[in-house]
C-alpha cells in the first residue's frame, strides 16, 4: 500500500462494490508472502464469495488459489497473473501500451542517443511485457543506427 496508486484503487473498488450492494473486507500483506498466506486463512473464515488477490509471489500464490477454490470461492488475480493455476478472472493494465508510451516519451525528449533501461523483475509478467514493448518500440530506432540501448532487469 506504499505505492500511491494502490490506496486510490482500493477506495474506488470499495466504493463501486458498495454501490452494487456488496461488502469489501480489505487486507494488505505489506509485500510479505507469508503474511498473505496467513491472511487467506483468516479471510476464508469470514465466509467470502470472491477473493481479489494481488499476489506477492505469483508462483506461490497458486496454492492460495487452490485453497480458495476448494472452499468454493472464485478468485480474481489482480495486477499480476498468478502462475500454475486456474484463476477465474485476470485483471490488469495494458503493459504493452505502457511500455510503448514510456518509450515514445523518452524518444520525444531525446530522439537520438544511448538509453539504459532498468527493467522490472523477470518473475513479474507485467514487467516482462513492459520490457518487451520497450524493446519492440525501440527496435526501429536502433536499426537506423540513431539509438543504442542496454536493458538490465532486477532478479
pLDDT, tens digit, 9 for 90 and up, residues 42-70: 999 999 999 999 999 989 999 999 999 99
Q: For 103-153, how does the pLDDT look when each residue is reduced to its tens digit (9 = 90+)?
A: 999 999 999 888 888 888 887 888 889 999 999 998 888 888 878 888 777
Name 53's bridge partners: 77
> What ranges in the chain are assigned the alpha helix state H?
5-19, 33-44, 61-70, 95-109, 125-143
pLDDT at 38: 97
| Strands across the sheet containing 74-78 | 50-53, 74-78, 89-91
Q: Could you report the per-residue pLDDT of 73-105, keeping only the tens digit for each?
A: 999 999 989 999 999 999 999 999 999 999 999
Residue 31: which of 76, 68, 67, 79 has the closest Cα?
79
pLDDT attached to residue 131:
92
Q: Residue 103: which of 131, 79, 143 has the closest Cα?
A: 131
Amino acid at each position: 500500500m506504499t505505492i500511491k496508486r494502490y490506496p486510490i484503487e482500493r477506495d474506488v473498488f470499495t466504493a463501486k462494490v458498495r454501490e452494487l450492494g456488496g461488502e469489501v473486507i480489505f487486507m494488505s500483506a505489506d509485500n510479505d508472502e507469508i503474511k498473505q498466506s496467513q491472511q487467506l486463512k483468516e479471510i476464508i473464515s469470514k465466509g467470502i464469495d470472491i477473493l481479489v488477490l494481488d499476489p506477492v509471489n505469483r508462483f506461490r500464490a497458486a496454492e492460495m488459489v487452490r485453497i480458495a477454490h476448494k472452499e468454493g470461492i472464485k478468485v480474481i488475480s489482480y495486477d499480476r497473473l498468478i502462475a500454475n493455476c486456474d484463476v477465474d478472472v485476470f485483471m490488469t493494465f495494458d503493459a504493452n501500451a505502457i511500455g510503448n508510451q514510456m518509450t515514445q516519451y523518452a524518444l520525444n525528449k531525446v530522439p537520438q542517443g544511448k538509453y539504459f533501461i532498468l527493467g522490472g523483475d523477470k518473475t513479474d509478467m507485467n514487467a516482462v511485457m513492459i520490457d518487451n514493448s520497450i524493446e519492440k518500440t525501440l527496435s526501429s530506432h536502433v536499426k537506423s543506427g540513431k539509438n543504442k540501448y542496454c536493458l538490465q532487469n532486477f532478479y
